[in-house]
Structure 1
Amino acid sequence: MNDLSLLRKYDVPVPRYTSYPTVPDWNTELFQIEDYRERLLQAFASYKEDGLSLYVHLPFCESLCTYCGCNTRITVNHAVEKPYIEGLLMEWSMYLHILPDRPILKELHLGGGTPTFFSPEHLKLLLEALLKTVVLHPDFEFSFEGHPANTTYAHLKVLRELGFSRVSFGIQDFDPKVQLAINRLQSFEQVCDVTRWSRELGYGSVNFDLIYGLPFQTRKSIEHTIEKVAELMPDRIAFYSYAHVPWKRPGQRAYSEKDLPSAYEKQQLNQLGHRQLLALGYELVGMDHFALPEDELLKAMKNGRLHRNFMGYTTNPGKLLMGLGVSSISDIHLAYAQNVKSVEGYLSQLNAGKLPLFKGHLMTSDDLNTKSKILQVACQKSFKEDALPKQSKKLLDELMADGLLVSKGEGYEISQSGNQFLRNVCALFDPHYHSTTKKERVFSQSV
């Protein structure tokens, strides 16, 4: 089957599988905060030696990037920083009262929004207060997301002094026309500066986020962007598909569908980007992610230690991820829980002495079994034949016939062409996906 035929068949709405069940399939009616607290204690007792992963959501941005699907609050009023930090520390204090011992912190990530919206002084205030309450795991790893246009040397220096060793810069595209359309403006010189500062300060890993399928993108603009990336050679690259969901993200109505590459053109941009990155010496880790051969993420994939959660791919196999802040999601293996999505609602619940949760899902044994199979596909790009549900046999045969899977030993591996449709292979194991009738209004396209 040729590329265009594969695209027509498999470029359908599919979950990104940073979790299972995916958020739209959570059984929220059965979720009770008391049950969640009990499961948190079980998870803490079982997994504390692996260490805790902590995600902190910092939602503020000075301007709206119209492509963005994150939960953000747009403001130029930096007086919001201190009250929000106080809220984060109040939420963390509530969890410390639930947990019987000091947590062993292995992984900490600042996401957004724009974490570098906050001043270096306020970030230091937040982090020093958090770090006083934990025991650091011997292999701890701290990371954050930075906007090249507002990340300063002072930001990088303060965070490095606090133990941060990884930074991810959201670039998306270097073409001025594309940047203007998505309202994500930063110069190549600014990206050069923040990359150079990071390396001078001792950050061990620098990641660039790039997106294909954006308005006004062309083969020439993708080529140009990756040529500029090649001048800096970050350790990791996330090459994401643009998810056009204007019914969920009204900011995406700033441009129309006619401004976007067609489905076939988008696939060509993806393939072009893949070829360029592979030619530079990067290797494909999993969905959307590339790394240089010496990077720990790639080593983890080859050694069978790669894991995937709401923060994406990680080298940490731990099963205890807690989220702080507006809209943050906790994945404690035995349950999921999400915080309220508005800053006002978040702070209001905290001030009332309540955990700021508004929905969640308690995992069943079937959920845990299915989740492990999907993680195997997403992280190791393989699965055993006896792992496949009987009802998926017909779909398996189609994937084999179309060359997306190949037989190996007692199971199957994703082929080179199948890498582009890894989400479709994960969906083989997802009973919710095959029973959903309105997927086109829930999930983004697979490519």
Structure 2
Amino acid sequence: MIASDVTLSQDTVMRLSKPVPRYTSYPSTPHFNNDADGESYGNWLSELNEAATLSLYLHIPFCDRLCWFCACHTKHTLKYAPIRKYLTALLAEIRWVSEKLGGKGKVTSIHLGGGSPSLLKPEDLEELRVALQSGFRIDPDVEVSIEMDPNDLTGEQLDGMAAFGMTRASFGIQDFNPQVQATINRIQTFEQTANCIHAVRERGIGSINLDVLYGLPHQTTETVLDTVAQVLSLAPDRIALFGYAHVPWMKKHQTMIEERVLPGVLERFEQQAAAARLISRSGYESVGFDHFARPHDKLALAARTGKLRRNFQGYTDDRASALIGLGASAIGRFPQGYVQNVTATSVYEAQVLGGRAATSKGHCLSTEDLRRAWLIEELLCRFQVDIDAAADGNPDLLRAFLRDIDVLTNSEARTLLSWNGKTFGLAEQARPFVRHFAAAFDSYLARQTSRHSSAI
């Protein structure tokens, strides 16, 4: 058993906050290679089972402003022509993928992400809807989630999203504090956001997700709590509480943010803990280490019933057999491995309009990869894992897992762990740092030279 009164010292917080991958995939994307190419991707699509369930992710990599905190693959544009050109390529990729599928599978989830999908015109969304319906077998109860920026939205665009079939709207809040917003170049008032959410609900969209960040420049615990209180007043169904990932070596525009005004590790931990307490006390159930949902929400139900999953959008109740990524930089996951599309929109357009796969890299999953991926996902979703089940009868792998656990249980963090020879688990106080413990089972981590953001 783990003592419930274990208190984290400042030294412990500092140790557990060392940079590690987000583990939205295993192995993480820096370990993707050239093993999975366009030919592999085509074969994986054609080999899917007739009864497979499919999740589609469509990436719209354009924004009409450049937010300095953002780590997504996006392009800044104030013109419509590049968006139209890109959409033509996206429609071509949809046709290529659907031809390889040959009518197999059923789409149970569609997610439009960005960038800012709300830059699409209603006629663009209608064209996309027709293409998807022509190329895929869509479940009548398909869930359709769309990310949107209140600065982009008009009533006409919201009508177009509703006609597209949107069932969940996702808004990036980040922070409502004016000083923080100015520093990250993301001006978005509470009133503006509230009006957009009201307009979404007026159109019968019953599910709202709001993203909040801590660890941003000039944030304090008090300002984070002010933002969270305003977010709660909007009564979203889901809240994602993310730590700002400062990765200027990957995203050069983040150099616009002065590091001296960023909260330190201990401040980030205090902000996260205070915000999580306020959200939980307001009737939301904790889902994983950074999501919250109302008890009636399917995400909360998935967490309660052991059906929670994790993919490139974070925690999800989506249990589809395969994730198909469409658009520049989009990532797909199949039983055989991962594929990622080329990032540069010009190269993406040239490839798909030339009749080729958009793939740039990927990873073919070994048996060991699959078992380690299962273990890490279990730990991130449930904070405990059956080690025998993870090894799945492989004695060499079981011994490797036991060695990993031995290192952890002999570390200074041992008071935060439980181990009975079968089940490995984390104390509640350790859950915000679950990625730190998951990293102990990552056989690729020691081999890589890539850098990551803080574990808190």
- TM-score norm. by structure 2 comes to 0.92
Unmatched 5+ residue regions in structure 2?
1-6, 391-397
* 1:436 to 2:438 alignment: no
Does the CA contact (< 8 Å) of 2:168 and 2:205 recur in 1? Answer: yes
Does the CA contact (< 8 Å) of 1:14 and 1:443 recur in 2? Answer: yes
Greater CA drift, 77-86 or 247-256 = 77-86
Question: For residue 436 of structure 1, what is the amino acid of its counterpart?
Answer: R
Q: C-alpha deviations, 1:335-392, integer Å up to 9, x for none?
A: 2111111111111112222111111111111111111111111222210143461331
Q: Which residue of 1 aligns with 2:394?
A: none
> Counterparts of 1:148-167 in structure 2 under 5 Å?
148-167=150-169
Does the CA contact (< 8 Å) of 2:53 and 2:106 recur in 1? Answer: yes
Q: C-alpha deviations, 1:221-275, integer Å up to 9, x for none?
A: 1121011112112110000011111111111111221010111111111111111
The secondary structure found in structure 2 opposite 1:186 is coil
> Counterparts of 1:318-357 in structure 2 under 5 Å?
318-357=320-359
> How far, CA to CA, are the matches of 1:292 and 1:403 in structure 2?
31
> How far, CA to CA, are the matches of 1:24 and 1:91 in structure 2?
24
* 1:446 to 2:455 alignment: yes
Question: For residue 20 of structure 1, what is the amino acid of its counterpart?
Answer: Y
| Aligned-residue CA RMSD (Å) | 1.8
State the 1:400 CA deviation: 8.6
Q: Which residue of 1 aligns with 2:246?
A: 244
Pair 400,295 (structure 1): closer, same or farther in 2 beyond 3 Å: farther
Q: C-alpha deviations, 1:154-176, integer Å up to 9, x for none?
A: 22222223321111100100000
State the 1:62 CA deviation: 0.8
Pair 413,138 (structure 1): closer, same or farther in 2 beyond 3 Å: farther
Q: Which residue of 2 aligns with 1:15?
A: 21
Q: Which residue of 2 aligns with 1:39?
A: 44
Does the CA contact (< 8 Å) of 1:400 and 1:406 recur in 2? Answer: no
> How far, CA to CA, are the matches of 2:56 and 2:182 in structure 1?
34
Question: For residue 54 of structure 2, what is the amino acid of its counterpart?
Answer: L
- TM-score norm. by structure 1 comes to 0.94
State the 1:315 CA deviation: 1.2
Does the CA contact (< 8 Å) of 1:319 and 1:333 recur in 2? Answer: yes
Does the CA contact (< 8 Å) of 1:236 and 1:292 recur in 2? Answer: yes
Q: Which residue of 2 aligns with 1:297?
A: 299
Does the CA contact (< 8 Å) of 1:403 and 1:418 recur in 2? Answer: no
Q: C-alpha deviations, 1:413-435, integer Å up to 9, x for none?
A: 332111111111221221112x2
State the 1:2 CA deviation: 2.8
The secondary structure found in structure 1 opposite 2:112 is strand
Q: C-alpha deviations, 1:18-71, integer Å up to 9, x for none?
A: 101111122x243343233223322x21xx534210000001101110110100
Pair 154,407 (structure 1): closer, same or farther in 2 beyond 3 Å: farther
State the 1:14 CA deviation: 0.7
> Counterparts of 1:133-282 in structure 2 under 5 Å?
133-282=135-284
The secondary structure found in structure 2 opposite 1:373 is helix
Does the CA contact (< 8 Å) of 2:23 and 2:435 recur in 1? Answer: yes
Pair 3,202 (structure 1): closer, same or farther in 2 beyond 3 Å: farther
Pair 402,153 (structure 1): closer, same or farther in 2 beyond 3 Å: farther
* 1:391 to 2:403 alignment: yes
State the 1:398 CA deviation: 4.4
* 1:113 to 2:115 alignment: yes
Q: Of 428, 450, 454, which aligns to 1:416?
A: 428
Pair 342,29 (structure 1): closer, same or farther in 2 beyond 3 Å: closer
The secondary structure found in structure 1 opposite 2:51 is helix
Does the CA contact (< 8 Å) of 1:211 and 1:241 recur in 2? Answer: yes
Unmatched 5+ residue regions in structure 1?
none
State the 1:100 CA deviation: 2.4
Does the CA contact (< 8 Å) of 1:146 and 1:167 recur in 2? Answer: yes
Does the CA contact (< 8 Å) of 1:382 and 1:413 recur in 2? Answer: yes
Does the CA contact (< 8 Å) of 1:148 and 1:171 recur in 2? Answer: no
Greater CA drift, 248-257 or 194-203 = 194-203
Greater CA drift, 76-85 or 318-327 = 76-85
Does the CA contact (< 8 Å) of 1:167 and 1:206 recur in 2? Answer: yes
Pair 136,181 (structure 1): closer, same or farther in 2 beyond 3 Å: same
Pair 316,123 (structure 1): closer, same or farther in 2 beyond 3 Å: same
Does the CA contact (< 8 Å) of 2:38 and 2:356 recur in 1? Answer: no
Q: C-alpha deviations, 1:284-311, integer Å up to 9, x for none?
A: 1013111111111010111121111112
Q: Of 377, 380, 401, which aligns to 1:378?
A: 380
> How far, CA to CA, are the matches of 1:140 and 1:423 in structure 2?
31
Does the CA contact (< 8 Å) of 1:81 and 1:122 recur in 2? Answer: no
Question: For residue 362 of structure 1, what is the amino acid of its counterpart?
Answer: C
Does the CA contact (< 8 Å) of 2:24 and 2:314 recur in 1? Answer: yes
The secondary structure found in structure 2 opposite 1:110 is strand
Pair 384,63 (structure 1): closer, same or farther in 2 beyond 3 Å: same
Question: For residue 442 of structure 1, what is the amino acid of its counterpart?
Answer: R
> How far, CA to CA, are the matches of 2:411 and 2:432 in structure 1?
13
Number of residue pairs matched by the alignment: 440
State the 1:407 CA deviation: 4.7
Does the CA contact (< 8 Å) of 1:36 and 1:362 recur in 2? Answer: no
Question: For residue 30 of structure 2, what is the amino acid of its counterpart?
Answer: P
> How far, CA to CA, are the matches of 1:85 and 1:305 in structure 2?
35
> How far, CA to CA, are the matches of 1:444 and 1:427 in structure 2?
13
